[in-house]
Amino acid sequence: MASDTELAERDADVSPQDPSPQTDEAEDYPTWQYALVVIAGFLVMSTTCAFIFSYGVYQSLYEEMARVEGTPFTGASTALINLIGTLAIALMSMGGPFAMHWAKIYSPQAVIVAGGWVFGIAYILSSFGKALWHFALTQGVLLGIGTCLAYVPTMSVAPTWFDKRRGLAMGVIISGSAVGGMIWPPALRAMIMHLGFRNALRISGCISLTLVSVAGYALRWEPQFQEHVRMQTQGLRRKSGWIKAPMVNYRVARSKRFLAQALGCFLQSAGYSTPLFFYAAYASTLGYNATTAANFITLSNASNFVSRIAIGYGADRYGRINALVVTTLLSSIAIFAFWIPSMFHTADASKSSADGLFIVFTILYGAFASAYISLFPASLIELFGVQHFTSVNGALYLIRGMGALIGTPLTGMLIPKSAALTSSYIYERAGIVSGVLLMAATLACLWVRIEASIGSAWKWRV
């Protein structure tokens, strides 16, 4: 059997985004085949990832329940409740190397369908939770694992089917998380109000399990790329190869480019999730009722949907790394210029100012902060070459998960539970830390930009 190092380097020889498997998709396969891949990927993103990023609805609900006797969350702090969503979003990325590896050994269909079942069962089990740790285990850990198994293979399989229209296809697929993010928050809030939060969890689990399982059957490797995958996994046995995840080449891991990109991934992930999880809870401090507060999550995702297409087009035209720097900087500016000032305009005379500032922040942060998630993988081939894309991408997803797991709980601890739903200014420290982390991530992206130009003539479009 080949050594781990040999397998790791061989595993990186052909990337799922390598354009070599095909050159003109319209001549090789019928149009319905490409449409099926896009629709299936869209469905996966609009359920798994959209539900993960809609956790703010439950964050707000659980914080309300923490103030009532006899609930699973009675007396729980904001940080502990936030840990549920943090575990889910962290594990969604941290398991990336293994999910990608298993898709190569057992087929992406099997891994995606398994992810749909784990995701659905996690929601159903959480509906029977009697203590906070039950929700952390089910709605946090299991949900994150299920999302990872469905999300990572989907984002790896879809590019193998496209060449000329790859950017457009991936834009439509990724936009599924934003479209789902517009649909699910108000839907969840309506289900919670009329059916109770436990039934809302059960219904969400059944919907996700069904849609992801059906979509998974359509998400197989492109036939020519399947041959490359078969060659890469020849030295692995199906019974024991599942524990061997691809490793980053040692020389690549020591390079300044990798260190800069890894630092940017960690810092951006550490600061990114806090505003997302607290949209609804923070809106409640401004006097909005629960239903209206949840609509801020929808507004953010609507902005996200539009921006993914526009920013993706701009990144292809002006440089993906350039877009990383600009969008990360603008997300930090949105926090300092709009969110934090809104915390100090809550008196009756200036409430309209607070509302306006927070609405602008929600739109801008939704538009720019999430751009990092789609742009950083797209820049890896330019930085490390096709031969190292697979292993580098998996390692950076792991690092992003670690950033979310460490940064988000720490910022959540800065929000005192005694006034979490009544005083907007107590979000100040969490907002400042998130803004600083994103500003530091901007500097790391700028470092990546500089490293990308070393050894060659300076190019504006990188």
CATH number of the domain where residue 320 is located = 1.20.1250.20
Q: Which residues of 239-276 are buried (b: 16+ CB within 10 A; e: fewer)?
A: eebeebbbbbbeebeeeebbebbbbbbbbbbbbbbbbb
Which pLDDT belongs to residue 439? 94
Which pLDDT belongs to residue 238? 61
- Does residue 460 form part of some domain? no
- Does residue 202 form part of some domain? yes
- Does residue 448 form part of some domain? yes
Which pLDDT belongs to residue 117? 93
- Does residue 301 form part of some domain? yes
- Does residue 459 form part of some domain? no
- Does residue 458 form part of some domain? no
Query: CB of 387 within 8 A of CB of 12?
Result: yes
Q: How many domains does the chain have?
A: 1
What pTM was estimated for this model as a whole?
Answer: 0.72
Which pLDDT belongs to residue 440? 94
- Does residue 111 form part of some domain? yes
Which pLDDT belongs to residue 122? 92
Which pLDDT belongs to residue 45? 87
Contacts of 167 (CB under 8 A, 6+ apart): 312, 313, 316
Note down pLDDT in tens along the chain; length 462 residues. Answer: 344 444 444 443 433 344 444 444 434 677 777 788 888 888 888 888 888 877 878 887 888 888 888 888 887 877 788 788 888 888 888 887 788 778 878 888 888 999 999 999 999 998 898 888 898 899 889 999 999 998 888 877 777 776 666 656 777 787 788 788 788 888 888 888 888 888 999 998 999 899 998 888 888 877 777 777 677 666 666 665 556 666 667 787 788 888 998 899 899 888 887 787 777 778 877 777 766 776 777 788 788 777 777 777 777 777 778 888 999 999 999 999 888 888 876 555 456 777 788 889 988 998 888 778 777 776 776 777 656 666 677 788 888 888 877 877 787 777 766 554 556 677 888 888 899 999 999 999 899 888 877 755 445 555
- Does residue 462 form part of some domain? no
Q: Residue 255: which domain range?
A: 4-453
